[in-house]
Amino acid sequence: MQINDKDKITILLNLLGEHYNASHKMRERSLNFAIWILGFGVAIIWLLLSGASLTISQNIFLTLFVTIVSLLTIYFLHAIEKGFHTNRNIMIDIQRVLGCYEQGIYVDSKSLFPKEYEEKYKEKKGDKEKNKMTVQNLKKFLRTLDFHFVSIYIWIILITLMIILLIWINPNQQNQKNKKITLNSYTSEQAGLITSANGQK
């Protein structure tokens, strides 16, 4: 079966539109999921600050639970990110076929999309020199990072560390310990005074 050029362009434009929509949905899904998880984290923080007193075993269990949930969240978001990058590479392939990176096709003396956009996101394999750890390659790698996902990862890690810190350094537990110490010292002083009074008699 042969397809004429006009039909090919129509098919490519439809595919490009679908992949654009998929890209936006992946970003939206990752953000909504992260917000839901972070809301769960805020609820735990509120519980810890509201006066809940936990034992050592409960602290350990809650720490493991929060850590596992955070790791599973990052794993799920990373799966979405991988799909996002694959989808973006397909979009770049379609844009290349449509001539969006060639000069003079859509706009006089320049391309519709900058060439740097194609080079920034398109994954190139098989070049060992480009895979070496150099300052230049590190800068290129940083430019390829999608800061939408990076910011979500940082956000989740910070909330996780904050929760774990509050689990083990709970101000309510510290206050209760101080009250016990004060009460014990007060009781000891009272016992000492009573003993002294009995001795004087």
pLDDT tens digits for 40-49?
A: 888 888 888 8
- pLDDT value, residue 84: 92
User: What's the token pair of residue 29?
Assistant: 């899904």
Q: How far apart are the first and last CA of the chain?
A: 117
Same-domain status, 143 and 63? yes
With 80 as the cut, is the pLDDT of residue 8 above it? yes
Same-domain status, 157 and 93? yes
Q: Give the Cα separation of 158 and 64 in Å (integer).
A: 16
- pLDDT, tens digit, for every residue of 120-150? 665 544 444 555 556 666 555 555 667 889 8
Domain that holds residue 66: 5-169
Number of domains in the chain: 2
Same-domain status, 199 and 188? yes
Question: What b/e string do you get for 118-127 counting C-beta neighbours within 10 Å, with b at 16 or more?
Answer: beeeeeeeee
Percentage of residues in the chain with pLDDT exceeding 70? 69
Q: Give the Cα separation of 83 and 196 in Å (integer).
A: 78
Same-domain status, 189 and 133? no
CB-CB contact of 148 with 27 (8 Å): yes
- pLDDT value, residue 190: 53
Tell me the average pLDDT across 56-68.
Answer: 91
Same-domain status, 120 and 157? yes
Same-domain status, 194 and 149? no
Same-domain status, 103 and 24? yes
Same-domain status, 29 and 63? yes
Summarize the chain as % helix, strand, coil (round to 5).
80, 0, 20
Q: What values do phi and psi take at 110, rounded to 5? A: -155, 165
Same-domain status, 21 and 35? yes
Model confidence band, residue 30 (pLDDT cutoffs 50, 70, 90): very high
Pairwise pLDDT comparison (119 vs 8), residue with the higher score: 8
Q: Give the Cα separation of 9 and 98 in Å (integer).
A: 7
Same-domain status, 21 and 66? yes
Q: Give the Cα separation of 150 and 78 in Å (integer).
A: 10
Q: Give the Cα separation of 154 and 136 in Å (integer).
A: 24
- pLDDT, tens digit, for every residue of 144-191? 667 889 899 999 999 999 999 988 887 555 544 444 444 455 455 555
